[in-house]
Amino acid sequence: MTSASQTVSSKPQLQQHARSGSISTTKWISRFAIYTILILLGITWIFPLYWMVTSSLKDDPQIYTVPPVLIPNPVYWNNFYDAWTRFDFNQAAFNSVFLYSLPVTIFTLISSMIVAYGFAKIPWRGRDALFWVCIATMMLPWQVTMVPLFIIFKNLGWINTYWPFVVPSLFGNAYFIFLLRQFFLSIPEELSDAARIDGASEFGILWRIILPLSKPAIAVVLLFRFLWSWNDYLGPLIYINTEAMQPLALAIYRMRTLALSMGTTAMAYPHLMAVSTLVALPIILIFIFAQRTFIEGISTTGLKG
């Protein structure tokens, strides 16, 4: 009887053991499949960047070899210096940083922050209706407003200047207004009420309370806006006519067209990839160093609305 009862009691334990083993095997297989898919997707995203960097270290014979040369041999490090100095990209870099990207990024952040604070923390009649009108402007593609804006800026005499980029940034950006407003709504209202009781103004509350607590969202706005202006090609192509005022995106295109027009295709592609690598490097470094803050801002924005 004892042995029979022990045999009966051991059967559920064996079944539970087998079930747990099958569950763990299923979890391992599913996890392996997920990581395999992620690795393959990561390779598809990284390979264009890898090809750009390695192509900048090759010469023309290595570029046009079939099958492709994945690892350059020998390595031509001087391509970076030759490409940068051959077409004088220093002026283009100055234009991109100090005349376009930095002013537009700073003014967009300040104006969008003020508007978002008004939508999130100050109660006034018609606030929500006007906010939805602001959000609705995001549905208008830039290609629709491109011609009317060009006519307006031409009549103002702003063609061949950076005013068409800087002045609109003083009036905020609908996407960043929405992003900052959603983040501001997640900050407890009691903090603002306590500051008002102490006599703080709305700008004082924004500067002393809201901004220190909104660093992740601010980092997202700064990175996105700087990235858009840094990579902008169509806007400068429309409004900038003088070579001395061209940003990096137009200077890279000019480098390619000049090489083809002069018939000097030798080293054109490696030099093009070398300059492209140097132009992409600041954005990559900014994202690496601000990655934690950036991801935090994206993940926490929009949790409350």
CA dist., res. 180 & res. 224, Å (int):
13
For the entire predicted model, the pTM comes to: 0.81
What is the per-residue DSSP string for 73-94?
SS--THHHHHHHHHTTHHHHHH
Q: Kindly state whether residue 284 falls inside one of the protein's structural domains.
A: yes
Count of domains forming the chain: 2
Q: What is the pLDDT of residue 73?
A: 87
Same domain, 126 and 29: no
Instruction: Please give the residue that has the higher pLDDT: either 67 or 294.
Output: 67
Residue with tokens 């029979």, as numbered in its chain: 4
In this prediction, residues 153-165 reach a mean pLDDT of 95
Mean pLDDT, residues 8-37 taken together: 70
Q: Is 223 helix (H, G, I), strand (E, B) or coil?
A: helix
Average pLDDT, stretch 221-232?
Answer: 92
pLDDT at 245: 92
Q: 116 with 19, same domain?
A: no
The confidence score (pLDDT) of residue 62 equals 87
pLDDT at 19 (0 to 100): 58
pLDDT computed for residue 11 by the predictor: 54
Residue 262 has pLDDT above 90, yes or no: no
43 and 186 together in one domain: no
Q: Which of 194, 230, 259 is nearest to 103 (CA)?
A: 230
Q: Domain range spanning residue 100?
A: 78-300
Instruction: Answer whether 181's CB lies under 8 Å from 120's CB.
Output: yes
Give the pLDDT confidence score for residue 80 in this predicted structure: 92
Q: What is the mean pLDDT of residues 113-136?
A: 93
CB 120 within 8 A of CB 206: no
**Mean pLDDT taken over the chain:** 85
